[in-house]
Amino acid sequence: MNQIPFFRRQRAYLSQFTTGQLHLKSPWVVAFFSFSYPGFGHMILHRYAAAFILILWETFINQMANINEGILYTLLGDFEKAKHILEERWLILYVGIYMFSIWDSYRTTIDLNKQYVLADREDAQILNMKMGTWDMNFLDKRKPWVALMWSVVIPGLGHLYLHKVITGFFMFGYTVVILYLGHIPEAIHHTMTGNFDKAIQALDMQWTLYIPSIYLFILYNAYSSAVELNKLFEKEMSKYLRQNYQNKNFKLPI
């Protein structure tokens, strides 16, 4: 006969490669990142399978529909060229998944916030270390500004500092591909040598326009993840000290 576990919900789960945790999030912030780039909102929620699929789908459908170039010409006021360059057959397919990504990330955030409140009230147990043959993961204090700094240098390194190995390597590889296809390193080289016209000509704007959304998300996610992991470490340490060192007669504040 199966026994019902004492804790119905988990506040966090440690694997060898990452730490998944429940914590309060603003549904509007999550929806905003899904609006800026489908999949990013789901990544904030630690729903990595859905996040990676949506990110790759966004890249594929955006390229097929020429959406970034359409956005560029729209911002430049050349509406006729924007309409001409968009591929309508692919654009229709883009809209449905795009709207679903925003709606689903918003809805899921509200549900996960409720799960977090219940898990926190139950004072659910937190595993503080996970070891395996490939890697080891443990709760520890991390500096948010260090995660932010490494993310500025190269996207993904801030997540590796936080031991989010899967997210870190995915975002690192994905960003490198975008930078290469957009000829951005080449444009930076020409800019540093003062050859601005050649820098502009080198850029492939269809790929380059991905970068602002990617960088904004990576900086935010690395910093906020460090803050929340520090809170998780404090909760685990607090529970351990209460259970092992606190006098049983001590009355907890309401």
The encoded tokens of residue 165 equal 């190995």
The tens digit of pLDDT for each residue in 56-103 reads 999 999 888 888 888 888 888 888 888 888 888 888 888 888 999 999
Strand 19-21 and strand 12-14: the pairing is antiparallel
Q: Stretch 196-222: mean pLDDT, rounded?
A: 89
Q: What is the pTM of this model?
A: 0.85
Query: Which residues, 6+ apart, have CB-to-CB distance to 41 below 8 Å?
Result: 30, 31, 32, 33, 34, 101, 102, 105, 106, 109
The tens digit of pLDDT for each residue in 163-197 reads 999 999 999 999 999 999 988 888 988 888 888 88
Could you tell me if 61 and 37 are in contact, meaning their C-beta atoms sit under 8 angstroms apart?
A: no
| Residues facing residue 21 across a β-bridge | 12
Q: CA angle 26-39-178, nearest 5°? A: 125
CB burial of 191-228 (b: ≥16 within 10 Å; e: otherwise) equals eeeeeeeebeebbeebbbbbeeebeebbbbbbbbbbeb
Looking only at Cα atoms, what is the longest distance across the chain?
76
